[in-house]
Structure 1
C-alpha cells in the first residue's frame, strides 16, 4: 500500500529503457568502485569505460561529465520533494507531508537523510564530500530540486521559491548533521533519537515561519 506522502508510482519502463537503466547503473557502479580504489582524480573516464567494457563515446552518451558518474545516485532524488508535495493526501499541508517523508526515511535508514552507517554508504560519502569538484556539482542538483519543489508548491513565484529554499535547506542541514555524527564514529542507532528530535524541530520551525498555505 502506498503511503499518502509517497510519490506516485512511476509507470513500468519498457525493455529498451530498462536496458538503458542497467547500463547507467553498471557504468556508475564501475566508476565509483575505481574512484574508491584509486582516488577520483587518478582515474580517467577512459579507464572507467574500459573497465565497464564500453567505448568512451558510449559512456559520454550516458554521463556527459565525469562527476555525473558519481552523482547519478542523486538523480532519482532530485525531484523527490516535489513529488511528495504533488502526491500528498487531500487536505494535507506540504510541510507536513515532507516531515512525514523525512521521518519515515530516518526509520528505514535512507542514505538521503544522512542516517545510514552501512560501510558502502560511508565510503561513498567520503568520496563525495572529499572531492571539491563533486561537491560543486552537487550544488546543481540541489538547485534543481529547489526549483522543482517551488513549482510543486505553486502560488506567487517569489513566495514559492523562498519557501522551497527554506525547506531544502532544513532537509540538507538535518542530513549533514546526521552524516557528521556517523562519520565521527557513532552508529545510526545511537544517532536516531536525536535525528528524530532535530527533524521535528526543523520542520516545526518551517511550520511556524512559512505562509499558512504551505503549513496547513
Structure 2
C-alpha cells in the first residue's frame, strides 16, 4: 500500500501520517466509549481512559481538549455532511431530502433509525448525559455554520441552515426514542419515511428562495 492512498470517493488521497492520526483518534475514542458504557460517563476519569488506551493524560488532551469530545468524536465526521451534500446542487433542500431518505433506507445510525444494540447504547449515553448534550450543541452549531456557508452565506443562509439542521435532528431523535422505547424497527421505518417526506416538503416550501430562479 502506498504512503498516499485514496480515501472515499471525492476526497483527497490520505497520507500515512494522517491515517495514523485518524486511527489514534478512533482507538482512544472507542476505548473511552467502552468504559463510559460499562461504568457511566461521570464514573470514569480522563486518567482512567488514558491508562486504558496506553497513552499519557497530556497526550490524550492533545487529541481531545474536553472529556466530552471522547464521545462526540463518533459523530464529528458528520459536522460538514449537510454542507457536502448541497455542494454544487441547484436545489439544496431536495438534495438533503434525498440524502436523509437514503440514510433511512440503509438504517444509518445518524438518522436514528437503527436498532443495533451498540448504536442504541451509544445514543442512550449521548442523550442521557447532560454535559454531552450541551457539548453536542457546539457540534450542531458548526454543522449550521458549514451549511450556511455552502448555501452562500448571509443571514438568509444562516436561517435556512438552522431550520434544516433542526429538522434533521428532531427526525433522528424521534426515531431513536421510539426504538429505544421498544417499538420494532419494521413498524417505525415507514412512519419515519413519511415524517421525513412531510418535514422536507415543508422546508422546500418555506425555503423555496434557495432554488435558482425561485
TM-score range, shorter chain: over 0.9
Distance 1:69 1:191 in 2: 30
Q: Is the CA contact (8 Å cut-off) linking 1:8 and 1:87 kept in structure 2?
A: no
Out of 120, 138, 141, the residue aligned to residue 139 of structure 2 is: 141
Tell me the residue number matched to 1:4. none
Matches within 5 A, 1:70-149: 70-88=71-89, 92-149=90-147
1:214 and 1:174, CA in 2 relative to 1: closer, same or farther beyond 3 A? farther
> Alpha-carbon deviations, 1:171-197, whole Å to 9, x = none?
111111101110110122221100110
Tell me the residue number matched to 1:203. 200
Give unmatched runs, 5+ long, in structure 2.
1-7
Task: Please state how far the C-alpha of 1:87 moved relative to its aligned partner.
Answer: 4.5
Q: Which has the higher relative contact order, 1 or 2, with Cα contacts under 8 A spaced 6 or more apart? A: 1
Out of 159, 169, 174, the residue aligned to residue 171 of structure 2 is: 174
Moved segments of 4+, more than 4 Å: none
> Helix, strand or coil for the counterpart of 2:68?
helix
> Alpha-carbon deviations, 1:11-47, whole Å to 9, x = none?
2210011111111111000000000111110100010
Tell me the residue number matched to 2:5. none
State the aligned residue count: 206
Q: Is the CA contact (8 Å cut-off) linking 1:153 and 1:214 kept in structure 2?
A: no
TM-score between the two structures when normalised by the length of structure 1: 0.92
Distance 1:159 1:197 in 2: 28
Distance 2:59 2:103 in 1: 35
Give unmatched runs, 5+ long, in structure 1.
1-6
Distance 1:201 1:105 in 2: 16
Q: Is the CA contact (8 Å cut-off) linking 1:149 and 1:164 kept in structure 2?
A: yes
